[in-house]
Amino acid sequence: MGTESSNQLWRSMWAICWKDIKLYYAKGPIVVTGVLFPLFLWGAFYIGRGLDPKDGLASLVTLTIFFTSSSVTPIIAPWETRQRTLEMLLSRPVKVTTILIGDILASTIFGLVFTLPIVFYSIVLGVVLSNVLMATVIIMVTVIGFSALGVLFSALPTDTPADVVLLSSVVKLPLIFVSGVLVPLAQLPTWTLAIAAASPLTYPTDLLRQLYTGNAFFPEWVDIMMVIIFTIMFTVGALKLHEKTLSTRLQKR
Amino acid sequence: MTSFSPRIRVGKRKENRPMSTIAIEAVNLHKRFGNVSAVNGVSFNVTEGEIFGFLGPNGAGKTTTIRILTGILRPDSGEAKIMGYDVHKDPVKARMLIGVVPEEANPYPDLSAWDNLTLVGSLYGLSKRTASERASRLLKLLDLYEVRERKARSLSKGMRQKLLVAMALIGEPKVLFLDEPTSGLDVLSAKKIRSLILDLKKNGVTVLLTTHNVEEAGELCDRIAIINGGQIVETGSPDDLMIKSGLYTYISVKFDRPINPEDAGQFFKAWEHRVQGSRILLICKESADPIVRVVEYAKARCLSIIDIHTSPPNMEDVFVKIIGG
Ligand SMILES: Nc1ncnc2c1ncn2[C@@H]1O[C@H](COP(=O)(O)OP(=O)(O)OP(=O)(O)O)[C@@H](O)[C@H]1O
Ligand SMILES: [Mg+2]
């Protein structure tokens, strides 16, 4: 047997994922937020300005991913620290990393459940997508990345969910506005472009826009690479940072 | 209550302890919170199959020590090992062997008793089937089977406590940490948990428990560590502690006819004593030798012993004496 046999690792991860879905995701309010938030924001920008909704599908998908998959992960760790269930879990043969991967998994499933239907329904409505497989894969990687981003926020060793919600809002909202998600990159002034290039929302939007309309700002390979890089960065960052702050977190009373 | 004769328990205990592998090893543990020194140089070993008790006043450092030993808290210095595995270097391996009833951790309030239990089963890597089998067995054993579908938040305090015990046992641990396992339990449930602990011991499980019920500790534990201000102030079997406490055992003997006070005084001069008609009262620090002497006296003087009655100090007095209250 290894440190944590693969069987055990797998079972632990799914058990955590299942617990998350049951406790956090299968709830009315969270489901409503997941649908309404991106839809309103998107509607306000695209339909409100009389743009063709078809051109904006890439933005709707990215916003939905962003709002669903990074919405719950930030609060799980502080909430469960406060509730003293985290200590209950960690008294068992399981590493924080395994728990966090379970959290990311649940958030990924949640994100995909909201995002993929938009893609498939638009296909049914006749909006052509030049590469459905590529779109699906890139959506999956993005969902994982944004889920991990949520987990990254929760590495703040606090037992007050509001602290993390504040932190994540402060980071997340500007990210939306500096990325090409609401206004196509080509229409941004050059000085904001530099900032947009640093936003993780920019690349999936750009790639999806390419797949939907054939117009994109960056070459396809740049978008793909950046999506992958951001996802790896957020995931590794989340796991490492949590390991660092765990003992402070468990000392909270 | 004057029930137990210490010496007999000592003999029994030796029979039950064939091996001497160290199951829990604490080496010079230190832990500070700000300027509170919660654990201040705690060292002890618990042998496999032993029931080891932690007794001490509120804030003595019992829970902190257990949280260090189960890998939740990192000690400022010192070492904690479970069956040879360093808890902080090899946490998963060590925790694979342990079950914990934490004092301050909770089951998920919004999951059912069943889901909480099988969730923990999965963390030990159990298959769904094995987890379900063990969960049913444990819930039945602890009288929780009927409420298994209820959310943990809707359970009474005692039921929740029993659920935590079930959660500690589902991984079939070799080492159990029980932080106040019987707190909040009714008399019957507490009794059940105690007999469960003794059954586990028979199967070779090592147990470290804390309790504020001193008599319970005396009844269950092979050895007790009395901890105060983050330090172990005394360790020993309940009997050792009685002797170490310096408290007296009273032995009252009734013979079939009056005895001669002077003669008896000479015979029992090693102990403080009083003679009254056919009775003698001996005040001593342990009971075995005086009782042998009483029997010898009866034989030598052709007396019959009608009644012999020992009152060892109770554990509570012993505890209070050692803590220095
Ligand atoms: N997380 C923490 N932060 C700050 N202080 C703490 C923390 N945990 C424990 N302490 C302090 O350390 C000391 C020991 O506490 P501990 O919980 O170990 O005592 P205990 O022996 O279990 O007491 P009780 O019988 O009340 O359960 C106390 O003074 C307590 O206030
Ligand atoms: Mg305690």
Predicted pLDDT of residue B41: 95
d(CA A212, CA A55): 7
Predicted pLDDT of residue A142: 96
Cβ of A93 and B124 within 8 Å?
yes
Q: Same domain for B121 and B258? A: no
Predicted pLDDT of residue B15: 40
> Per the structure block, which two tokens stand in for B85?
């595995």
| C-alpha gyration radius of chain B | 24
Q: Same domain for B53 and B169? A: yes
Q: Starting at the edge strand that comes first in sequence, how are the strands of the sheet with B249-255 ordered?
A: B272-276, B279-284, B249-255, B305-311
Asked if A86 and A94 count as a contact pair (C-beta separation under 8 A), the reply is no
Predicted pLDDT of residue B13: 41
Using CB distances shorter than 6 Å, the residues near ligand 1 are A 251, 253; B 33, 36, 38, 56, 58-64, 103
Instruction: Please report, in angstroms and rounded to a whole number, the separation of the first and last CA atoms in chain A.
Output: 36
Question: How many residues can be counted in chain B?
Answer: 325
Q: What are phi and psi of A188, to 5 degrees?
A: -80, 145
pLDDT digits (tens, 9 = 90+) for B112-141: 999 999 999 999 999 999 999 999 999 999
User: Is B12 inside a domain boundary?
Assistant: no
Q: Separation of B63 CA from ligand 1 center, angstroms? A: 7
d(CA A115, CA A62): 8
**What pTM was estimated for this model as a whole?**
0.86
Q: Same domain for B209 and B285? A: no
* pLDDT (mean) for B199-205: 94
Tell me how many helices (H) and strands (E) chain B has.
12, 14
Asked if B190 and B182 count as a contact pair (C-beta separation under 8 A), the reply is yes
For residue B105, the enclosing domain spans 18-237
Domain with B191 in it: what CATH number? 3.40.50.300
Where do the domains of chain A lie? 2-250
Q: Which residues contact A32 (CB under 8 A, 6 or more apart)?
A: none
Q: Which residue has the tokens 């008793």?
A: B113
User: Is B285 inside a domain boundary?
Assistant: yes
B164: pLDDT strictly greater than 70:
yes
B310: pLDDT strictly greater than 90:
no
The candidate with the shortest Cα–Cα distance to B282, out of B249, B313, B312, B314, is B249
Q: Same domain for B193 and B248? A: no
Give the torsion sign (CA, B224, B225, B228, B233).
positive
Considering only CB atoms, which chain B residues are within 8 Å of A12? Answer: 122-123, 125
d(CA A66, CA A73): 12
Q: Same domain for B139 and B222? A: yes
B1: pLDDT strictly greater than 60:
no
Domain with B278 in it: what CATH number? 3.30.70
Considering only CB atoms, which chain A residues are within 8 Å of B91? Answer: 93, 95
Instruction: Please report, in angstroms and rounded to a whole number, the separation of the first and last CA atoms in chain B.
Output: 22
Could you say which of B180, B206, B237 is where a domain stops?
A: B237
* pLDDT (mean) for B315-325: 80
Q: Same domain for B229 and B310? A: no
Q: What is the mean pLDDT of chain B?
A: 89
Residues of chain A whose beta carbon is less than 8 angstroms from a beta carbon of chain B are 3-5, 7-8, 11-12, 14-15, 18-19, 22-23, 83-85, 87-95, 247, 250-251
Q: Same domain for B211 and B251? A: no
- Our CA-based measurement puts residue B211 at a distance from the nearest CA of chain A, in whole angstroms, of 20
pLDDT digits (tens, 9 = 90+) for B12-45: 344 443 445 999 999 999 999 999 999 999 999 9
Predicted pLDDT of residue A53: 63
* pLDDT (mean) for B173-201: 93
Q: Same domain for B74 and B142? A: yes
Considering only CB atoms, which chain B residues are within 8 Å of A22? Answer: 111, 115
Q: Separation of B59 CA from ligand 1 center, angstroms? A: 5
Cβ of B96 and A93 within 8 Å?
yes
> Per the structure block, which two tokens stand in for A31?
């489901």
B76 in A contact zone (CB under 8 Å): no
User: Is B191 inside a domain boundary?
Assistant: yes
pLDDT digits (tens, 9 = 90+) for A210-252: 888 888 888 999 999 999 999 999 999 999 999 999 989 988 7
> Per the structure block, which two tokens stand in for A127?
């909006």
B91 in A contact zone (CB under 8 Å): yes
Asked if A69 and A107 count as a contact pair (C-beta separation under 8 A), the reply is yes
* Predicted confidence band of residue B241 (pLDDT cuts 50, 70, 90): confident
Interface predicted TM-score (ipTM) over 0.95: no
Could you say which of B192, B219, B237 is where a domain stops?
A: B237
* B92: nearest CB among A4, A84, A88: A4
Q: Separation of B68 CA from ligand 1 center, angstroms? A: 12
B115 in A contact zone (CB under 8 Å): yes
- Half-sphere exposure in the Cβ direction for A137 (13 Å, CA): 9
Q: Same domain for B305 and B169? A: no
Higher pLDDT, B261 or A194: B261
d(CA A184, CA A142): 19
Put simply, the chain B residues between 151 and 210 with a CB less than 8 A from any chain A CB are: 167, 171
In Å, what is the CA distance from B90 to each residue of A249, B65, B132, B309?
A: 20, 18, 28, 52
SS3 label, residue B156: coil
Predicted pLDDT of residue A36: 78
Q: Same domain for B59 and B80? A: yes
* pLDDT (mean) for B158-164: 93
Predicted pLDDT of residue A51: 64
Where are the extended beta strands (E) located within chain A? none
Cβ of B105 and A88 within 8 Å?
yes
User: Is B69 inside a domain boundary?
Assistant: yes
Where are the extended beta strands (E) located within A76-176? none
- Our CA-based measurement puts residue A243 at a distance from the nearest CA of chain B, in whole angstroms, of 13
Predicted pLDDT of residue B31: 96
Asked if A153 and A168 count as a contact pair (C-beta separation under 8 A), the reply is yes
Return left, alpha or beta for B315; rule: phi > 0 is left, psi -120 to 50 is alpha, else beta.
alpha
Neighbouring CB atoms inside 10 A of A159's CB total: 18
Q: Same domain for B114 and B161? A: yes
User: Is B7 inside a domain boundary?
Assistant: no
Predicted pLDDT of residue A253: 66
Atom 7 (ligand 1) nearest CA:
B33
Provide the b/e sequence for A174-203 (b: ≥16 CB within 10 Å).
ebbebbbbbebbeebeeeeeeebbebbbbb
Considering only CB atoms, which chain A residues are within 8 Å of B107? Answer: 85, 88
Q: Same domain for B176 and B219? A: yes
Query: Which residues are near ligand 2, the ion (C-beta closer than 5 Å)?
Result: B 62-63, 103
pLDDT per 10-residue tile (average), chain A, 253 residues: 71 96 86 76 70 75 90 92 94 94 96 89 80 91 96 93 90 84 79 85 91 86 95 97 92 75
User: Is B6 inside a domain boundary?
Assistant: no
In Å, what is the CA distance from B189 to each residue of B17, B109, B142, B184?
A: 27, 22, 8, 10
Predicted pLDDT of residue A48: 65
